[in-house]
Structure 1
Amino acid sequence: MGKKKVAVLVGGGPAPGLNGVISSVTLESIQRGYEVVGIYNGFKWISSASFDPKVHTIALDRKVVDGIHFKGGSILGTARDSLIKNGKIDTEKVNNVKKAMEILDIGYLVTTGGDDTAFSASIVSKEIKNFYVAHVPKTIDNDLPLPGEMPTFGFQTARELGTDLLKNLLEDARTTGRWYFVVAMGRSAGHLALGMGIAAGATLTIIPEQFGDGKTTLKSVCDIIEGSMLKRKLQGMDWGIAVVAEGVAYKFGDFDQLEKVLGRPIPKDPHGHPRLAEVPLGDLLKREIENRYAEREQKITIVTKDIGYELRCADPIPFDIEYTRELGYGAMDFLLGDDYNADFKEAGAMISLVEGNLNPIPFHQIMDPDSGKKTIRLVNTYSYNYKVARAFMTLLQPNELNNPDQLSKLSSIAKMDEITIKKHFETLPRI
C-alpha cells in the first residue's frame, strides 16, 4: 500500500483518555515513518457531501500532540454520527467516506468510540478494499465485555472523580443531617454506580442487575431505600447517600404509578414504548419517599443529584494515561506491524489487551451483524466483589421484620404499628 497516511477520529460520547489514544497513535505512526491526519467530529464530516479537508481535518505531529495525554476531552472533538440509517447501512455516507479517504490519501484508520462508532468502523473496513481499520473501544460505563475482565478506558478515572464527589456529598449529608439520592450514569449496567458507591462508602447502591432479567416497580425500589433510611436511623444516623444507576428506570413496569408520582404522562416512542430516558429518576424517588414521610407526619430533607457528565472529560488518572497509550500503540502495531497478515488486517479489529499483551479481535467476532451492537458486560451479582459491596451497605432485610426486638424499634422510628410496618414492607426485595 506504500506510504499512505494514517487517520484517527473519535466518535460517541467523551471519556477520559481520548487524547492519550490520539497522542500514541500519532507518535507511533510518525516513529514508523507515516503522516497522520486528525479527523474532526467522528464520522460527521467525512460521511457528508460537504466534507472540506481544510476545515474538517488537522495534520497531527509531535508538536500538536505534545502533552495532550494529560488532558481530558478530545482535541478532535467527537460526534455521534454513524453510517447507519433506519437500521441499514447508509450507502451514500459510506461512499462519502470512501471519497474522503481517497482525497486525504488515507490507508489506515483508527477509530475510538462506542457501539455505533465500532459498527461504522466495521462497515468501512468491509466496504473499502485494501484499507485497514482498528477500533479502540471506550466508555465510562465499563459495560463492554473485554477479555481478561479489563476495564474500558476512562472508567477508572470516572470512578475516581465520582468517588470524590460522593465523599463530599457524604460529608455534607453528615453535617446537615440530610439524604442525597444520587443517580449515576449507566443505562445498561451498574459498574460505575457500584464502583463509586463501594469506594465512597455510600449507604446503599441500587443497580439494574440486582433485579435479574425481570422488571421491578417504583414501590419496590423505594421500599429498599426507605428500609435503608429507617435502619440507618436505628443505628443513630439520620442521613446518608443512596446511589442509583440510571438503568434502574429501564426496569420499571408500573407506568401508571410512575405517571401518577411524576404528575404528567411519560412520552412514548413511535413503537409505543415509554421513553424512560425522559423520566427524572432522582425526582421520582424523592417525591415518593417524601410522600411516605409526610403521611407519617415526619420531616425529611432529600436532595437529588445526577453524576455523569462531570466525569466524561476529566483529566485521566495515571492508569488511564498508561492504558490509552498502550491501546493507541497497539492499534498501530496491528495496522503497521508484521505480526498480522493482510487478510486479518483488512477484516479490521477491535484493539484489546490480555495480560499485558496486544489482543486484536476481528470485527466479525464481536459485532452483531443485525444490530451492530456488542454484548453488554453486566455486574455479576454472584461475584465475590458484589458480595463484599453488599456487605457494607445498610439494607433492611425481610427477615429482620420477624425479629420482635428489631420490629419494635423500627415501628417506633417509622411511627407505624408493628402490623402496619410488616404489611408496608411485605414485598421488600432482598438485594
Structure 2
Amino acid sequence: DGFEHLMRGETDHVQRLTITDVSRIHVLGGSILFTSRANPTIRDERAEDPDWRMRNTVRALKELAIDALLTIGGDDTAFSAQRVAEAAGGAIKVAHVPKTIDNDLPLPRGVSTFGFQTARHVGVELVNNLMTDAITTKRWFFVLAMGRSAGHLAVRIGKAAGVTLTVIAEEFPPDRPIKLMHLVDLIDAAMLKRVAHGRPFGVVVLSEGIALRMDEADLKKAMPDVERDEHGHIRLGELDLDGVLADLVRERFSDRGQKVTITPKNIGYELRCAPPIPFDIEYTRDLGYGAIDYLRTLLREGGDEVGAMITIQEEHMVPLPFGSFNDPKTGRPRVREVNIDSGMYRVATEYMLRLEQEDLDDPEKLKAIADAARMTPDEFRERYGYVVTARAPAGAA
C-alpha cells in the first residue's frame, strides 16, 4: 500500500516475497503489493511536528532494518523517494523505477516509462473498435485519455489508431490558459472539414491534462465539483471533459439545424492494469535488475550518494541521481511534455484532419467547409480562422 502505513509509523504491514510469489508476476497486470496515493512529503502545519509523516516513514523503515528501498511509480513517487532518501541521511539507499502510463518523467527522448507501451497498445485496440463503430453507425466518439501533465498517451494512441483529431495541452500557447470555447471551435472546425469531405463521423482523442491548463472560470462553470487528491492535484478521473465538450459541440450543430451523434468515452482505468506486452515485460526485467544492482553497489561502496532513478539507455543501466532531474523552480521532477517540434508529432498532425491555413486560402476548399457550416466563406474565416494561428509557437513545448 505504498507509504500509507509507514507514514503512520506502522511496521506490521509487511509481506516477505518468495520465489513462488514472484516467479510468474512478470506476465500479470496490477501489483501484488497494491498501491496508494499516500504522500509522506506533505507537511502538516497544524501539528506540533509538521513533518510527522516523513519522520514516521523513515523511523518505520529503520525499525524494519531496511537499508535499501525500491520505489515504483511516477513523478509524485519519485519525489517522495528523493525526500525519504534525504530524510534518512544516507542510512537508507533508494532506487526509483519510472512507472507511469503518462510517460512524463524526464527520461532521455525516446525512452519510455514502463507501462506506457502497454497502455498505448490496449488504448489503440479500444480506439480501433470505436473507429469501426463510428464508421458503421455514422457517429462521433470523443475519447478522453489519461495524461495529467503531458499528452503522450493521447498522441500515440491517436497516431497509431488513425483517429480524426487528437488534442493535447502542449499544442496551445503555454503563457495563457486554454479557453473552453477555443477547444469547441477547434473540434467543431475539424468535424466540419470532415463533413465537407463526405465523412460525417470519426473519433477525437483528448488528453485529460487539458483540464489543468483550462481557464479557471471556464473549468468551474463547466465542471463545478472539482476534487483534489492527497498530492493536491485535481482528480482528473472525476472530470467529465469529454462529456462537456460533446454537449457543447452537439449544441453547436443543433444551432445550425444539423443532426449529429456524439458519444463521450473515457478510457482511463481500462489501460492501467492490463497484462504487459512483451516490450514492458522485458523492459521491467532490465529495470528491476538494474535497480537491485545499483542498490547493492551503493551498500557495498558507501559514499554520499543516497539514491537515483533507474533508466535504461542504449541497452545499459544508467542511474540518474536524485536532484539531477528536478525542475529548479519547483524542486520536483521535471515534466517531460510532448515535443510539438519533433518529427513524431509533426507526422501525427499530418495524419489528423485539422483546419489548416490552406483551407482558408483555397477558395474551393473554404467554400466546401463553409457550406458544411451553413456559412459564407467570409463568415467561416472570421469565425474559425483563429484556430489555425492560435497554436503554440515553435520551441514552446
TM-score, length of structure 1 as denominator length: 0.82
Tell me the distance in 2 between the aligned counterparts of 1:232 and 1:380. Answer: 27
Query: Structure 1 residue 162 and structure 2 residue 162: aligned?
Result: no
User: Compared with structure 1, are the counterparts of its residues 200 and 80 closer, same or farther at alpha carbon in structure 2 (3 Å cutoff)?
Assistant: same
Other-structure match for 1:120 = 80
* Partner SS state of residue 15, structure 2: strand
Deviation at 1:348, TM superposition (A): 1.2
User: Compared with structure 1, are the counterparts of its residues 387 and 369 closer, same or farther at alpha carbon in structure 2 (3 Å cutoff)?
Assistant: closer
Paired residues of 1:110 and 1:135 also in contact (CA < 8 A) = yes
Structure 2: runs of 5+ lacking an equivalent: 392-397
Other-structure match for 2:23 = 66
Q: Which amino acid aligns with 1:412?
A: D
Partner deviation per Cα, 1:340-395 (whole Å, 9 max, x = no partner): 83115x42111111111111111132245884520111111111111111111111
Q: Which shifted more, 220-229 or 322-331? A: 220-229
Paired residues of 2:164 and 2:353 also in contact (CA < 8 A) = yes
Tell me the distance in 1 between the aligned counterparts of 2:293 and 2:375. Answer: 67
* Partner SS state of residue 242, structure 1: strand
Paired residues of 1:204 and 1:241 also in contact (CA < 8 A) = yes
Other-structure match for 1:234 = 196
Tell me the distance in 2 between the aligned counterparts of 1:383 and 1:87. Answer: 42
Query: Structure 1 residue 331 and structure 2 residue 288: aligned?
Result: no
Q: Match for 2:336 among 348, 352, 377?
A: 377
Other-structure match for 2:394 = none
Partner deviation per Cα, 1:375-425 (whole Å, 9 max, x = no partner): 111111111111111111111224412322222222322222333322321
Tell me the distance in 1 between the aligned counterparts of 2:110 and 2:102. Answer: 14
Other-structure match for 1:249 = 211
Query: Structure 1 residue 425 and structure 2 residue 384: aligned?
Result: yes
Tell me the distance in 1 between the aligned counterparts of 2:50 and 2:19. Answer: 36
Tell me the distance in 2 between the aligned counterparts of 1:326 and 1:136. Answer: 11
Tell me the distance in 2 between the aligned counterparts of 1:317 and 1:52. Answer: 35
Paired residues of 2:164 and 2:202 also in contact (CA < 8 A) = yes
Tell me the distance in 1 between the aligned counterparts of 2:252 and 2:53. Answer: 54
* Partner SS state of residue 225, structure 1: helix
User: Compared with structure 1, are the counterparts of its residues 79 and 268 closer, same or farther at alpha carbon in structure 2 (3 Å cutoff)?
Assistant: closer
Deviation at 1:117, TM superposition (A): 2.0
Paired residues of 2:75 and 2:105 also in contact (CA < 8 A) = no
Deviation at 1:102, TM superposition (A): 3.5
Deviation at 1:216, TM superposition (A): 2.7
Tell me the distance in 2 between the aligned counterparts of 1:132 and 1:265. Answer: 44
Query: Structure 1 residue 175 and structure 2 residue 110: aligned?
Result: no
Query: Structure 1 residue 106 and structure 2 residue 66: aligned?
Result: yes
Q: Match for 2:4 among 44, 50, 53?
A: 44
Tell me the distance in 1 between the aligned counterparts of 2:252 and 2:158. Answer: 25
Paired residues of 2:93 and 2:298 also in contact (CA < 8 A) = no
Q: Which amino acid aligns with 2:71?
A: T
Q: Which amino acid aligns with 2:366?
A: L
Q: Match for 1:311 among 235, 256, 271?
A: 271
Tell me the distance in 1 between the aligned counterparts of 2:264 and 2:134. Answer: 12
Paired residues of 2:73 and 2:100 also in contact (CA < 8 A) = yes
User: Compared with structure 1, are the counterparts of its residues 338 and 103 closer, same or farther at alpha carbon in structure 2 (3 Å cutoff)?
Assistant: closer
Q: Which amino acid aligns with 1:43?
A: F
* Aligned Cα root-mean-square deviation (Å): 2.6
Tell me the distance in 2 between the aligned counterparts of 1:372 and 1:122. Answer: 11
Partner deviation per Cα, 1:165-221 (whole Å, 9 max, x = no partner): 100000000000000011111121110000000000000101111113133322222
* Partner SS state of residue 260, structure 2: coil
Tell me the distance in 2 between the aligned counterparts of 1:44 and 1:274. Answer: 18
Tell me the distance in 2 between the aligned counterparts of 1:259 and 1:94. Answer: 34
Deviation at 1:90, TM superposition (A): 5.3
Partner deviation per Cα, 1:143-185 (whole Å, 9 max, x = no partner): 1111353100000000000000100000000000000011111
Q: Which shifted more, 91-100 or 180-189? A: 91-100
Deviation at 1:223, TM superposition (A): 1.7
Q: Which shifted more, 275-284 or 377-386? A: 275-284
* Partner SS state of residue 160, structure 1: helix
- Name which one, 1 or 2, has greater alpha-carbon Rg: 1
Q: Which amino acid aligns with 2:195?
A: K
Structure 1: runs of 5+ lacking an equivalent: 1-40
Query: Structure 1 residue 389 and structure 2 residue 351: aligned?
Result: no
Give the paired residue count: 381
Equivalences for 1:14-163 in 2 at 5 Å? 41-49=1-9, 51-53=10-12, 56-86=13-43, 91-128=51-88, 129-147=90-108, 149-163=110-124
TM-score, length of structure 2 as denominator length: 0.88
